[in-house]
Amino acid sequence: MKLLEKITLGTEILQNAIAMAPMTRSRANSEGVVSDLTALYYAQRAGAGLLITEAINISEQALGSPLTPGLYSQDQIDAWKKVTKSVHDKGGVIYAQLWHTGRVGHSADKKGNLPVAPSAIGIKGQQHFTSQGMKDYETPQELTTTEIRQIVKDYGKAARNAIEAGFDGIELHAAFGYLPNQFLSESANLRTDEYGGSIENRNRFVLEVMQELVDVTGRDKVGIKLSPTVYYNNIENSDPVAQFNPLIEALNELPLAYIHLMNGLFPLDNYPHYPKNALETFGSISKHMVIANGGFNKDSGEGELGKGIAKIISYGSLFLANPDLPERFKLNAELNVPDGATMYGGGEKGYTDYPFLKD
């Protein structure tokens, strides 16, 4: 089974071709500090070839949802040190996913400050979960070029903090409508300066951040997650191929560990111009290792590896509910069912209490 074969990622030899996808769990405290329970959570899943953490806020400004973790204070760094040690003690490899939510947030959880974005365009037709309940999205504050350059530096600082915390590498969250994805989107980025107005300019922010991350970490330690055909959070492009092909070609010139591609998670009936298979369309032009994400099970994941474009498959909710997922795949064992009610927030229930096969 290709899923269970060892594979080299950058400088690491992974024990299998199964990754745990980043999943928001909202179990940090109000200061963005994770607990010993988080260390246990990741250690339980260290049988993955690669663990990618839940998205981690790079700064106070970056925060979008309550009780999500950060990587910008010493207390946060020290807490993550316990997590990486717990994973390394089990022989695992763990990357930190770096997050700036941009307009996907609310002032209720940002000390009264409005979210920021490439342009002053709020998300319509959706609501945001806040510490005060569900709220309509606000119109974000448009970033100045000086502020944009500071955010690039904030990513670099978070990368240095991740290294200090013991992570093996980092992944830029440039998918699912968060800040980097907002810069890539015609519907969210109406700028007319060097960060908008053309495909090259809309790609500029992501490429500057990636260069900053590589400069900090060195070769083969940085990945990026992209979702070219996911329109959630009001992210749209008139021609995703024209937008993302030049981006991936530019990323080919950087010494990255991988590109993590999300397949379309939502129906594309209203987007007939979108590629039906993001992995084949965009993964085929990447010179870097491709990690495939998006609703895979054992058989479909194995089948995807057999096509030859993706070399690793990442699993989200299946790994959430099955801490020993690779072992279950190996034995063709029954899988635990994820409990949607306990995915976000709370304590050990739905977090560290899912049974192992040997329980």
Three-state DSSP class for residue 77: helix
Q: Dihedral (C-alpha) 256, 262, 263, 264: value to the nearest 10 degrees?
A: -140
Three-state DSSP class for residue 352: coil
Cβ atoms of residues 231 and 271 within 8 Å: yes
Element (H, E) at 155: helix 145-164
Three-state DSSP class for residue 172: strand
What's the Cα-to-Cα distance from 338 to each of 34, 58, 78, 351, rounded to whole Å? 22, 29, 30, 10
Is 178 in the active site? yes
The Cα angle at residue 280 between residues 279 and 283, in degrees rounded to 5: 60
In whole angstroms, give the CA distance from residue 106 to residue 180: 18
In whole angstroms, give the CA distance from residue 74 to residue 113: 23
Element (H, E) at 165: none
Q: Which among 137, 178, 258, 315 is annotated as catalytic? A: 178
335 Cβ contact list (under 8 Å, min separation 6): 318, 321, 322, 325, 328
275 Cβ contact list (under 8 Å, min separation 6): 228, 229, 240, 241, 281, 282
Considering Cα of 336, then 342, then 343, then 347, what sign does the dihedral take? negative
In whole angstroms, give the CA distance from residue 46 to residue 93: 7
Three-state DSSP class for residue 157: helix
- Give 314's strand partners: 19, 293
Residues designated catalytic: 178
